Amino acid sequence: MGPSQTDWNSNDEFFKFTRGRFIVDEVENLRKREIRFDMNRLARVAADSVGSSRCISIKKYPDGMFSKAFLMSMDDGREVIAKVPNPNAGVPHFTTASEVATMDFARKVFETPAPRVYSWNSQARSHPVGAEFIIMDKIEGVPLSQVWGTLKLPQKLQLLLAITRLQKQWLSVSFSHYGIFYYIGDVQPLEDSHYVKDGKAIRDSEFAIGPAIGRDWFDADRSILDIEKGPYKEKKITALIWYRQIVDALILKDTAITRPCLWHNDLHDDNVFVDPNNPEKITGIIDWQSCHISPLFNHNPDPAFLDWGGLEPETLDLAPQPKLSGLSPEERSAAVHEYTIQNVLIGWRKLMHAKNPDLYRAVEFRKTAAYGLIFLAHRTFEYGEAHFQSLLVDLKDTWADLPAVNSDIPFPFDFSGEDFERIKLDSDGAVAGQILEQLAETDEEKAEYERFWPFE
């Protein structure tokens, strides 16, 4: 290293999680988000990838939960983004390889403004940088988070219309398999792996569908599970066996919502970039890590930046104006804010219903008890089996109403009174346990809460 060059490795904050603190298991959460590598080498790779002489500035963006991103400025004015996955980001090699291929596919086939990649590495041990990385475009524009709160309602609706157009492009392509996208040289390709666009099957020599490695498949220690093969005494295993007996009845025989789709499931306001002078225009979508091909109903239909945390709207009718008389200024402001957010969501759903009816059908399916069972079965190791079993008991009364059930197929379980009582107790206990887990930070606090807990 020359005397005039900066030793980027001396900045310890580059490698640690510095965005904030963790209330629960802070030491472990920080460990999973710390990654050590040679930043000097990474800066050299970044400069070479765009034909610059050297990197003269590195700025770390606020930490993501699974990756770190850096703005690297070159001596000739070029700027690039360097992204490095944390240890908790997913499966080594596959996580980075799939993100690069997915962004390329999104740009070329979806015509979505995803970042262009200049250099990347998915083999941490064999590269001098000592980490996986992606060097890519700095997207023009600003994050939506900087302007969303200042937009007028017509501007917000125009932006949502632009999101609708993007999602329509995503819906225009279907796939032969569920999984994740890669370049063909990075995975063992599936036989007859292809995608369909404009009614034509494309057997592309560049892309391939490979194994699913999204965090849903590996969080909560799923990656190291040694599943019990029997006899089945464990309640979670029993719940999943029950699920297998009813899954065909839960899923609608509707290919419009079950067909394999590639989707960006995390459209929060820092992942969507817009033109600051024309904020209704989307200039880029970032963070395609772990985007996967799965049934349409399994994808998030709504952008996260809509930020509606209330109940699902039952109809597409706008919410009535709140009654403001008698409220304090703070209460009025809160009521108007909630009213606005709710109606922006309904406006979004109206656009979806008109422009992307298949996606709206998926939204309607996600409101059903059948989808609730699918959701909980998928997340048994996080949320436990008690909620699933409780919903399953309730399903007995509406079994014949499921669209996928023939009238001559009986409910496949015969729960006894003791079963009902046990499942109810388990469900109530699970709710209490989750609340205790959220409230108590130490074993001592947990014991104290349990001592005075008013619910049995």
Residues 6+ apart with CB under 8 A from 87: 31, 32, 33, 34, 35
Res 211: pLDDT: 84
Q: What is the pLDDT of residue 221?
A: 57
Q: Between the CA of residue 169 and those of 204, 205, 256, what are the distances in Å? A: 18, 22, 15
Q: What is the pTM of this model?
A: 0.87
How far is the C-alpha of 41 from the C-alpha of 351, rounded, in Å? 47
- CB-based contact 179:210 (threshold 8 Å): yes
Residues 6+ apart with CB under 8 A from 350: 316
Query: What distance in Å separates the CA atoms of residue 58 and residue 74, rounded to the nearest whole number?
Result: 9
The predicted structure's pLDDT at residue 188: 85
Q: What is the mean pLDDT, run by run of 10 residues, along the chain of 456 residues?
A: 75 96 92 97 98 98 95 98 95 95 97 98 97 97 96 94 97 93 89 89 88 65 47 68 90 90 96 97 96 94 94 92 94 94 96 97 93 87 82 88 78 87 79 58 59 46
Pinpoint the residues of the chain covered by CATH 3.30.200.20: 8-144
pLDDT digits (tens, 9 = 90+) for 33-67: 999 999 999 999 999 999 999 999 999 999 999 99
3-state secondary structure 152-199: CHHHHHHHHHHHHHHHHHHHCEEECCCEEEEEHHHCCCCCCCCEEECC
Q: Nearest CA to 366 among 456, 213, 254? A: 254
State the pairing for strand pair 195-197/272-275: unpaired
d(C-alpha 249, C-alpha 388), whole Å: 16
Residue 447: its pLDDT value, please? 63
**What one-character-per-residue DSSP string does 378-446 give?**
HTHHHH-SHHHHHHHHHHGGGGGG-TT--TT---S----HHHHHHHHHHHHHHHHHHHHHHH-SSHHHH
Three-state secondary-structure class, residue 17: coil
Per-residue CA distances from 120 to 71, 81, 85, 96, 345 (Å): 16, 11, 12, 8, 38
Region 8-144: CATH code: 3.30.200.20
Per-state percent for the chain, helix, strand, coil, to nearest 5:
45, 15, 40
Cα 387-383-311 angle, rounded to 5 deg:
70
Q: Which phi-psi region, left, alpha or beta, contains residue 204 (left: φ > 0; alpha: ψ -120 to 50)? A: beta
Decide if 129 contacts 121 (C-beta within 8 A).
Answer: yes
Which tokens go with 66? 């699974």
Peptide bond connecting 231 to the previous residue in cis, omega within 30 degrees of 0 = yes
Which residues lie across from 85 on neighbouring strands?
A: 67
Spatial separation of the C-alpha atoms in residues 291 and 213, rounded to whole Å = 9
CA 443 remoteness from chain centre = 31
Burial state string for 43-76 with b = 16 or more CB within 10 A and e = fewer than 16? bbbbbebbebebbbebebeebbebbbbbebbbee
* C-alpha span between 15 and 39 (Å, rounded): 9
Quick check: helix, strand or coil at residue 227?
coil
